[in-house]
Structure 1
């Protein structure tokens, strides 16, 4: 049986058991789970392997490309700017980025971007991965586009461009790139093992990603003019892109964050713990309240499943994420299953990273099992 290393409070034994079982069955290749309760690491475990040949054990400092869990940190960056008074989430994007008003986008608000309701969920075709690696040029392209639906009326997941949109707001208000801001103002001060992109000196720590089974005809039935098709195909990014130098060096604040589960939990525990972590104050209660202002609730135009969006994060609902209880909680995750959940009632943060991607549009059966185990354990305290 694959062993699990690290520490786990006896009260949260169900979380460790869930990981052990899935490593033993082969559902997992390698993974980490971290649960913080009001600053206490009640779960800090990892196990399995970071390569397909099973020659390199997963360690506490193993990094993975966490796909859209990156967006949780990008959202945190925007909320910190709001707390500093540099960014008003209810103001037009063009207040800070005048060029964005082009093509009838003068009424797009910052909160529309942060809730995936801006109408600008991707780039007009043709657009290649190399195009979006040129961050400034890619942002300028978005500024010039017309929205694909009426902003504010529905959500359409900003799959790869969320970080370009938020990142440009960061640059316009602070003079720093999103990558630099996260490193110097968030990850650095908190000692969190998280970075947008990956420094070459850390590449040896990155786990080999195992993609899910692909359906070569998955896009064939979609309307080429729909936001779903346009978002998913321009550019088309397959999972193997994470192993390339171009991807690792780029600033994709929507999808190329590299982190440990502990690093993600450390950063996002700022939300769960009321805005302050070990003396580092980042968010006021009023700014945290913004997260819970519902912006959209219904079938997402890009993902195609019901999602309830607050400002920056998804909020609990019973259909797509039934394993996250109702209440003052928020979350988001990445393609294949990585996740971070923030529970303000329990002051609990749950994070999970892995290298064997699960099937499904959002999350996986493993994601659900680990989060559910963390909640059942917390409820028994």
Structure 2
């Protein structure tokens, strides 16, 4: 029995039905949320926080949302840009001088935000533990030559995005991106989202559950190349067991190790959909939100092997923007409707074996409430 808990405005009843349907099928535990005009209209959760289905998914349950974290890290950069502290058209080296090495003096901040910097890999790393050494990873990126002329092509920066944007944030503010996010975003909004997780929250974490028939050795694989052929993974392979480890929670890997639930994800991202405010709290100006949906690059993504439209930190899909995470989490914002929809779960789906439309089911159900 999957009792759905929480709040749902009647006109968004289709979201309740969609979440119930997912929990009756492949999901173990999950949450769904919709924010409209910066205010919650749906905040639902249900199912179980563990694979044994012995611990209920509660209002305060958190899960690692993997690459959905990129939306949060990008927001930090947009806030700094809105404050006049970061120029997206400036060279990264203006803030991080060592980065100019190996022909990168022309790499601009917007190239980093739009996955066009030519630095999609972390060559030389052989273990996940090496990702926990911020200074070593960022020094390696500063020394690396770009794989293509920056700005001329896109290639999803799966892990490097967070280190690149995070180091720019650190150079400007003197704070790691996790601390900046906590103090400048989550704190003012009252959002229960964390980039890296302090130990006192461990008891609230719903560990990720590998896809059906797979074990916790299930790893994030390198997407195929643009010709459909397997692409060499020149970075480290991250497994479910790594993401579920305490060391991963403590680290700063701001492309992928954010912890939250649908409520907190939607709350934070609704700031951008609602012209800079949510819940009466203003984080940036209306104009400061616009780079989130203004296209920077459109074309074939060399890493994802599919056509992509990238903005300053987000994927652009028609009139919407956002991004999802390995295994299934998702956030989508519509600035015209001033709506943000989020879905966070613990049971992963292997998209190489099975379509994963769960997050989009929640999104489409939310649009039903608008009309």
- Is the CA contact (8 Å cut-off) linking 1:121 and 1:227 kept in structure 2? no
1:320 matched to which residue of 2?
none
1:298 Cα shift? 2.4
* 1:273 maps to 2:274: yes
Q: What is the alpha-carbon distance in structure 2 between the residues aligned to residue 66 and residue 151 of structure 1?
A: 28
Q: What is the alpha-carbon distance in structure 1 between the residues aligned to residue 230 and residue 287 of structure 2?
A: 34
* 1:366 maps to 2:358: yes
- Is the CA contact (8 Å cut-off) linking 1:228 and 1:301 kept in structure 2? no
Secondary structure of 1:103's counterpart equals: helix
1:350 matched to which residue of 2?
341
1:237 Cα shift? 0.7
Deviations along 1:310-342, one digit per CA (max 9) or x if unpaired, are 1111111xxxxxxxxx32x21111111111111
Q: What is the alpha-carbon distance in structure 2 between the residues aligned to residue 220 and residue 264 of structure 1?
A: 26
- Is the CA contact (8 Å cut-off) linking 2:220 and 2:326 kept in structure 1? no
* 1:256 maps to 2:257: yes
Structure 1: runs of 5+ lacking an equivalent:
317-325
* 1:52 maps to 2:44: no
* 1:150 maps to 2:138: no
Count of aligned pairs between the two proteins: 365
Q: What is the alpha-carbon distance in structure 2 between the residues aligned to residue 135 and residue 216 of structure 1?
A: 25
- Is the CA contact (8 Å cut-off) linking 1:35 and 1:41 kept in structure 2? yes
Q: Which moved more, 1:233-242 or 1:274-283?
A: 274-283
Deviations along 1:200-245, one digit per CA (max 9) or x if unpaired, are 110010002112256999979978xx99845x44111112211112
2:86 matched to which residue of 1?
87
- Is the CA contact (8 Å cut-off) linking 1:334 and 1:363 kept in structure 2? no
- Is the CA contact (8 Å cut-off) linking 1:135 and 1:251 kept in structure 2? yes
- Under a length normalisation based on structure 2, what TM-score does the superposition of the two structures give? 0.93
Secondary structure of 1:68's counterpart equals: helix
2:243 matched to which residue of 1?
242
Counterpart mapping for 1:209-358 below 5 A: 209-212=208-211, 229=231, 232-316=233-317, 326-327=318-319, 329-358=320-349
- Is the CA contact (8 Å cut-off) linking 2:341 and 2:366 kept in structure 1? yes
Structure 2: runs of 5+ lacking an equivalent:
none
* 1:163 maps to 2:162: yes
Q: What is the alpha-carbon distance in structure 1 between the residues aligned to residue 28 and residue 67 of structure 2?
A: 20
- Is the CA contact (8 Å cut-off) linking 1:50 and 1:208 kept in structure 2? yes
1:363 Cα shift? 8.5
- Is the CA contact (8 Å cut-off) linking 1:192 and 1:263 kept in structure 2? yes
Q: What is the alpha-carbon distance in structure 1 between the residues aligned to residue 205 and residue 92 of structure 2?
A: 35
Deviations along 1:175-201, one digit per CA (max 9) or x if unpaired, are 111111011111011100001111111
Q: What is the alpha-carbon distance in structure 2 between the residues aligned to residue 296 and residue 144 of structure 1?
A: 25
Q: What is the alpha-carbon distance in structure 2 between the residues aligned to residue 207 and residue 136 of structure 1?
A: 30
Q: What is the alpha-carbon distance in structure 1 between the residues aligned to residue 114 and residue 125 of structure 2?
A: 25
- Is the CA contact (8 Å cut-off) linking 2:210 and 2:218 kept in structure 1? no
- Is the CA contact (8 Å cut-off) linking 1:105 and 1:146 kept in structure 2? yes
* 1:129 maps to 2:128: yes
Q: What is the alpha-carbon distance in structure 2 between the residues aligned to residue 117 and residue 250 of structure 1?
A: 26
